[in-house]
Chains A and B, each alone.
Chain A
Amino acid sequence: MSALVIRNGHLIDPAAGVDAPKDILLKDGKVAEIAGTGKLKHANGAEVLDAAGLVVAPGLIDIHVHLREPGQSYKETIATGTAAAAAGGFTAVAAMPNTLPVNDTADVTRWMQAPERGANVRVFPIAAATRGSKGEALNDFAALKSAGAVAVTDDGHPILKDSVMRDTLVAAARVGLSVIQHAEDTRMTQGASMNAGPVAFKLGLRGMPAEAESGLVERDIRLLTELRDSRAHLHVAHTSTADAIAAVRQARRNGLRVTCEVAPHHFLLTDEHVGLYNTNFKMNPPLRSAADRDAMIEAILDGVVDAIATDHAPHATHEKEVEFERAPNGITGLETALGLCLHWLHGEWKMPLGRVLSLLSAQPAAVLGLKGRGTLAVGCSADAVVFDPKAEWTYHVAETKSKSRNTPFDGWAMQGKVRWTICEGRIAYARS
């Protein structure tokens, strides 16, 4: 494999504690050398990328995406989804198992990582916790792990039965996998298509109460408390309510291994944004009240949130061009996450750049235990994003690399333009 030098850039690597001008040599898919500007010793013959005026950071890691393969390649393929990821600065994505068939076997897990899929960045499959994600019989976690699965979840079909969730936590801990829960007590959300509250009432839509999320998070934390001595790790996916965040905060104080992620739409938008049944603002968990949205911002700023994850969920245009209640849940997010985080978290709310980048790389890598990722220390995977932190631009979905266009952020102001995305030493995206 050829060597690559990123020269004259400003390296921000939160996990390594670096925030300084550095040149970096990438070789054989790994970080080979880091030195002050112009001081690399082994860079002869390497291809050079001039990063003057740009930030060089560990490649972004999105631990919650839906790549739709196998089974729904009309919405997205692993190739197109990872092309969108690379354009957004991501070098690794963790793919949810709600595929057709459900990813509940080592075969599917391996199939998703096969070179024939044409992945443009690294794909880490997350396997189903139970057979067919039906919430009953546990899958073979050891086999899934050795096939490459990095966590287990039933995602959109949350595990409601206490005994099954307890067994999942125990069995996953035994093989060193995290359990990710989409916290929604689906008994409370039948027929609902948005957040419960004044907006839902006015629109005449059945609402999902915030308690459907927080109640299940509290239940899961209780189960974890009962298993106190195990290494069980619960990760709360796409947290959207103040009460759920409060439960995570408290669990952490009590020393439990509970982590959580928040999606950009949940710290930027509220149920008011649904407007008049705009299906590009329909997802699950739904956009919540302003108080919930503010709680997400606060939790991100004060460090309770471990990761920003997009819940990238592509759907074909014709599927979204229907009556609101009939439209599928989900929005795309890989191409807008960095631009929104830099514009809002860093630009508007003054979160230090290093902390924003950490939420998008080092911390999500730690959540899923992705070794050698999320940092650009020597010997680690040569995953980097090079971007202009000052550049302001507008997102136009017409230019998306994804197969789908279901974003609420078309026409939104973004900050920070990706110049190169480098995955395992290979240029996965270069802005022309």
Chain B
Amino acid sequence: MTPAAARRTLQSPPVQASSSPYNPGSLLSVENLSLEALSRILDRATALTRQDPLERARILAKRKVALLFYESSTRTRTSFELAAKALGCDTTLVSNLSSSIEKGESLKDTGLTLRALGAEAIILRHNANGGPWLLEQHTRLPVLNAGDGMHEHPTQALLDLRTILAHLRGGATSMGPETLKGVTVTVTGDILHSRVARSNMLLLPRLGAQVLLCGPKELLPDVAATTGPAVRIERDFETALRQSQVLMMLRIQAERLAGLQLDLDDYKRGYQLTGERLHSFAPQALVLHPGPIIRGLELTGGVADGPQSAILEQISHGVAIRMAVVERALNGGRA
């Protein structure tokens, strides 16, 4: 048999790793979240927001949730904590800077320790990609991924989605493959290092949205377009703006550039969202940013504070979404 013929008959060895979590309450990636599960989370987010706070605080009264943070965070940590407390949970925060992690304790052992202390779910922010899978594998607890390295940030994508739905779809919660048909979302900036971009690129196309990626090659390699059929690269910012209903601006992640030299003046000339650009090319578009924002870099202060900005709204949607996923975690996957 010729080599080519042999190749044709090549029965590829199976890819064994499954992306489904060990614990049905876990939220590790947006990828394995069914549209049905997604709809339930959005639905519960809305219901929980509307509920009487005293009644709400009985839902998970005295249940124990640990927040394990290996990276600094303002929004994600606080909103997860407020969300868990709003449902009545006891929360405890362990951060890498004030714990035995500094002494070299591994993620596995830290997780097992939290479990032994009674944690029923762990919310993990980790600087290494895949940390949440490792933690879940060893603790078998529900793990909520609050951002892992440059990989995923599922609750950010969910809260971005809730913000988009509030503005463009009247707060709909029932999701289908065409819910966001006709909506183009442009993600601009440091996509290479962004877990927010990755989660959004995986989530939004499943609801029918088009995702345009915009930025210079250093921050947006061509390979990014392989993420999915509805994901494209548009290098010219103004061309992208013209097509967009939603603009998602990203911070340049200086902490992850790893020696990459970037001329910030060039960057601003090409990709800064200014009042003029917004007015000229996307006067109706919704402006989102996962935060933290750097005023005067990826966007101007005027745009951040302007009428098209939903940046602060995103933060309150974050609490709603996180209430729903914490509830789901402690209810064995049922939102």
A residues near B, CB below 8 A? 190-191, 196-198, 201-206, 268-269, 272-278, 281, 290, 294, 297-298, 301-302, 318, 321-326, 344, 348-350, 411-412
Contact = CB atoms under 8 A, between A and B. Distances in A.
A333 to B, nearest CB: 15
Contacts of B16: 273, 275, 411
A302 B151 contact: no
B28 to A, nearest CB: 8
A276 B10 contact: no
Nearest to A272: B15
A324 B148 CA distance: 12
Contacts of A202: 198, 226-227
Contacts of B223: 196-198, 201
Which 6 pairs, one residue from A and one from B, show the smallest C-beta to C-beta distance? A275-B17, A277-B130, A204-B150, A323-B128, A204-B151, A198-B226
A33 to B, nearest CB: 37
A298 B3 contact: yes
A326 B128 contact: yes
Contacts, number: 103
8 contacts: A201-B227, A203-B130, A206-B258, A294-B10, A297-B7, A298-B3, A325-B129, A348-B10
A281 B322 CA distance: 33
B128 A275 contact: no
B293 interface: no
B221 A201 contact: yes
A273 B17 contact: yes
Contacts of A203: 129-130, 151
Contacts of A281: 17
A198 B107 CA distance: 27
B170 interface: no
Contacts of B195: 204
Interface of B: 1, 3-4, 6-7, 9-13, 15-19, 106-108, 126, 128-131, 133-134, 138, 148-152, 193, 195, 198, 221, 223-224, 226-227, 258-259
Given A202-B227, A203-B151, 7 more contacts: A198-B227, A201-B226, A204-B195, A275-B17, A278-B17, A322-B106, A326-B128
Nearest to B32: A276
Contact of A269 (B9, B13, B149, B224): B13
Given A202-B198, A349-B9, A323 B17 contact: no
A301 B224 CA distance: 34
Contacts of B259: 190
Contacts of B133: 276-277
Interface centre among A203, A204, A272, A290 (most CB of B within 10 A): A204
Contacts of A318: 106
B138 A321 contact: yes
B102 to A, nearest CB: 16
A147 to B, nearest CB: 39
B224 A201 contact: yes
Nearest to B152: A204
Nearest to B7: A294
Contacts of A301: 3, 6
Contacts of B1: 349-350
Contact of B10 (A278, A326, A349): A349
B108 A321 contact: yes
Contact of B129 (A204, A268, A297, A322): A204
B134 A277 contact: yes
Contacts of B149: 204, 325
Contacts of A321: 106, 108, 134, 138
A65 B224 CA distance: 37
A323 to B, nearest CB: 3
Contacts of B138: 321
Nearest to A191: B258
A274 to B, nearest CB: 7
A220 B152 CA distance: 40
A6 B151 CA distance: 57
Nearest to B149: A204
Given A191-B258, A198-B226, A297-B10, A325 B17 contact: no
Task: Identify the interface centre among A201, A205, A273, A297: most chain B CB within 10 Å of its CB.
Answer: A201
A294 B12 CA distance: 10
A275 B3 contact: no
Contacts of B17: 273-276, 278, 281
Contact of B134 (A274, A323, A350, A411): A323
A348 B130 contact: no
A152 B3 CA distance: 33
Given A204-B151, A276-B133, A325 B128 contact: yes
A181 to B, nearest CB: 26
A212 to B, nearest CB: 16
Contacts of A197: 223
